[in-house]
């Protein structure tokens, strides 16, 4: 069994929020491998997304993706809490995957629904309301139809709510949460930009 140092325990605890003894046992179980210990703690439910929600994520990576024909590209900033996690292959792959998603036909316009301008929300809501009233006269039913259409609008246009292009069974937010759970850190998209050749980039982009 590998000798576990206090520095190893401290590092893993900072990343996961797990207890001292749980952290030490996890490190012993994986012979002192910090990455595997973090993953083990996450799998056992000892590192939760909720504990990380209020923490700062000031490290990370800026990643780019250019489509093969050179006509579409993207830039994304993906953040985490430490440069240690930022330099892991899993985090690098996450940043690359999100950059690819942004450049894909998904075409996200905003990072989160709170970033959608009020004018856009109001105009879209009005259109859906008019459409709903053409098919239904009951106010309560109309409201449900509009709410459903607004949810669909956000899922189509908001990056964090979009279905991940490489696996549409999960959203981009769920993808971030999975990596955050395995690394024990808060993992977020800070901002992004999408470019198409010959097209003005006038769509708003969110920032953390």
Q: Which of 183, 193, 166 is nearest to 101 (CA)?
A: 166
Give the CATH number, domain containing residue 24.
Answer: 1.10.8.10
DSSP 8-state assignment for residue 55: S
Domain that holds residue 14: 6-47
Give the per-residue pLDDT at 22. Answer: 78
Whether residues 16 and 105 share a domain: the answer is no
* 179 contacts 90 by C-beta, under 8 angstroms: yes
Can you give the CATH number for the domain in which 106 is found? 3.30.479.20
Q: Could you report the per-residue pLDDT of 115-148, keeping only the tens digit for each?
A: 999 999 999 999 998 888 887 766 778 888 888 9
Q: Does any domain span residue 131?
A: yes
Q: Tell me, what's the pLDDT at 169?
A: 93
Structure tokens at 188: 């977020």
Contact predicate 108/192, CB 8 Å = yes
And the tokens for 100? 């690819």
Could you list the beta-strand ranges (E) of the chain: 59-66, 72-80, 163-164, 167-171, 188-196
d(C-alpha 26, C-alpha 2), whole Å: 11
100 and 57 share one domain: yes
| Same domain? 104 vs 91 | yes
Q: For residue 54, what pLDDT is reported?
A: 61
Task: Give the Cα separation of 116 and 206 in Å (integer).
Answer: 9
Count of structural domains within the chain: 3
Dihedrals phi, psi of 31, to nearest 5 degrees:
55, 40
Would you say residue 42 lies in a domain?
yes
Structure tokens given for 191:
């901002």
Which pLDDT does position 37 carry in this prediction? 86
Q: How many CB atoms lie within 10 A of CB 10?
A: 12
Residues 12 and 32 in one domain: yes
Same domain for 163 and 108: yes
pLDDT of residue 171: 95
The whole-angstrom separation of Cα 36 and Cα 51 is 20
Regarding whether 168 and 96 lie in a shared domain, the answer is yes
Assess whether 167 and 99 both reside in one domain. yes
With contact defined as beta carbons under 8 Å apart, do 59 and 190 qualify? no
Largest Cα–Cα distance in the chain? 72
| Segments of the chain with pLDDT less than 50 | 202-204, 207-208
């Amino acid at each position: 069994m590998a000798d576990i140092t206090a520095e190893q325990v401290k590092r893993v605890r900072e990343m996961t929020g797990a207890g001292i003894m749980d952290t030490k046992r996890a490190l012993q179980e994986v012979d002192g491998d910090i990455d595997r210990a973090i993953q083990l703690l996450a799998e056992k439910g000892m590192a939760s997304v909720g504990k990380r929600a209020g923490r700062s994520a000031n490290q990370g990576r800026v990643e780019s993706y250019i489509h093969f024909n050179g006509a579409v590209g993207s830039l994304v900033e993906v953040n985490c809490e430490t440069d240690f996690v930022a330099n892991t292959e899993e985090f690098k792959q996450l940043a690359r995957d999100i950059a690819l998603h942004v450049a894909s036909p998904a075409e996200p316009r905003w990072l989160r629904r709170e970033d959608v301008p009020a004018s856009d929300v109001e105009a879209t809501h009005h259109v859906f309301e008019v459409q709903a009233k053409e098919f239904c006269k009951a106010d309560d039913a109309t409201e449900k139809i509009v709410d459903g259409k607004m949810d669909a609008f956000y899922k189509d246009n908001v990056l964090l709510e979009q279905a991940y292009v490489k696996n549409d069974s999960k959203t981009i937010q769920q993808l971030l949460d999975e990596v955050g759970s395995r690394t024990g850190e808060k993992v977020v998209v800070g901002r992004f930009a999408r470019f198409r050749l010959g097209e003005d980039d006038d769509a708003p982009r969110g920032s953390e």
